[in-house]
Amino acid sequence: MEDFDFHQHYQNHEVDISWLSKPSQHEFRWRNSDGRWRKSNRRVSSITTFRKALFQDNPADVYFSTSSWLNPIDLPRLSDETRPHPILLNHLIVFDIDFSPLSLENLEQARITTLKLHNWVEQNYDYELKSISFSGSKGFHLFYNDLDRSLFSIENAKEREIAVKDERKKLLQEVLLAGFKVDPRITADTRRIIRLPGSIHGKTGLLCHRISLERLEKGIESWINDVPSHFADLEIPKTAISQDKEKRPFKSYVNEEKEQIEQYTYMMEVSNHLPGTKDRSALIFWTPYSWGTGAECFERLNAIIEMENLGYCVIFSDGERILFVCPESITRAKVVKILTHIGLDKLANTLVQREYYWVRISGIMEDDGIWYNEPKFISIISNNEIKSTYSKSHLTLLTKLGVSLDISQYENLSGNDEPSIRMVVRD
Is residue 309 located within the same domain as residue 255?
A: no
pLDDT tops 90 at residue 56: no
Mean pLDDT of 245-257: 38
Phi and psi at residue 284, in whole multiples of 5°? -135, 130
Q: Which of 221, 240, 261 is the last residue of a domain?
A: 261
Q: How far is CA 320 from the centre of its chain?
A: 22
Q: Which domain holds residue 41?
A: 6-261
Report the distance separating Cα 27 and Cα 292, nearest Å.
49
Q: What percentage of the chain reaches a pLDDT higher than 70?
A: 93
Is residue 99 located within the same domain as residue 228?
A: yes
What's the half-sphere exposure (Cβ side, CA atoms, 13 Å) at 241? 5
Report pLDDT for 245.
Answer: 42
Closest to 367 in 3D by CA, of 264, 222, 235: 264
pLDDT tops 70 at residue 261: no
Lowest mean pLDDT among 40-49, 196-205, 259-268: 259-268
pLDDT per residue over 59-115, tens digit each? 999 999 999 999 999 999 877 889 999 999 999 999 999 998 899 999 999 999 999
pLDDT per residue over 367-399, tens digit each? 777 788 999 999 998 876 678 899 999 999 999
Task: Read off the CATH number of the domain in which 187 is found.
Answer: 3.90.920.10
Is residue 319 located within the same domain as residue 171?
A: no
Is residue 27 located within the same domain as residue 176?
A: yes
Q: What percentage of the chain reaches a pLDDT higher than 90?
A: 74
If one counts every other C-beta atom within 10 angstroms of the C-beta of residue 239, the result is 8
pLDDT tops 60 at residue 257: no
Evaluate whether residue 340 is within a structural domain: yes
Report pLDDT for 260.
Answer: 46
Mean pLDDT of 40-48: 94
Report pLDDT for 3.
Answer: 65
Say if CB 17 and CB 44 are below 8 A apart.
Answer: yes
Say if CB 34 and CB 59 are below 8 A apart.
Answer: no
Is residue 205 located within the same domain as residue 341?
A: no
Is residue 241 located within the same domain as residue 280?
A: no
Report pLDDT for 263.
Answer: 66
Domains: count for the chain: 2
pLDDT per residue over 116-141, tens digit each? 999 999 999 999 999 999 999 999 99
Crossing angle of helices 332-341 and 295-308, in 10° steps, is: 140
Evaluate whether residue 224 is within a structural domain: yes
Is residue 246 located within the same domain as residue 370?
A: no
Is residue 355 located within the same domain as residue 243?
A: no
Is residue 211 located within the same domain as residue 155?
A: yes
Report the distance separating Cα 76 and Cα 70, nearest Å.
13
What's the half-sphere exposure (Cβ side, CA atoms, 13 Å) at 284? 26
Mean pLDDT of 232-236: 83
Report the distance separating Cα 32 and Cα 29, nearest Å.
10
Report pLDDT for 194.
Answer: 97
Report the distance separating Cα 419 and Cα 392, nearest Å.
8
- pLDDT-derived band at 409 (thresholds 50, 70, 90) equals confident
More confident residue, 154 or 1: 154
Report the distance separating Cα 214 and Cα 338, nearest Å.
55
- pLDDT-derived band at 227 (thresholds 50, 70, 90) equals very high
pLDDT per residue over 330-350, tens digit each? 999 999 999 999 999 999 999
Q: What is the mean pLDDT of the chain?
A: 90
Is residue 191 located within the same domain as residue 170?
A: yes
Mean pLDDT of 41-55: 93
Evaluate whether residue 1 is within a structural domain: no
Closest to 106 in 3D by CA, of 213, 225, 239: 239
Mean pLDDT of 280-285: 97
Is residue 223 located within the same domain as residue 339?
A: no
Q: Which long-range contacts (CB under 8 A, 24 or more apart) does 2-7 make?
A: 2/33, 2/34, 4/33, 4/60, 4/205, 4/230, 4/231, 5/58, 6/33, 6/58, 6/59, 6/60, 6/200, 6/202, 7/54, 7/56, 7/57, 7/58, 7/59
Is residue 64 located within the same domain as residue 192?
A: yes
Mean pLDDT of 398-423: 91
Mean pLDDT of 214-241: 90
Q: pTM (2 decimals)?
A: 0.81
Q: Which of 214, 240, 261 is the last residue of a domain?
A: 261
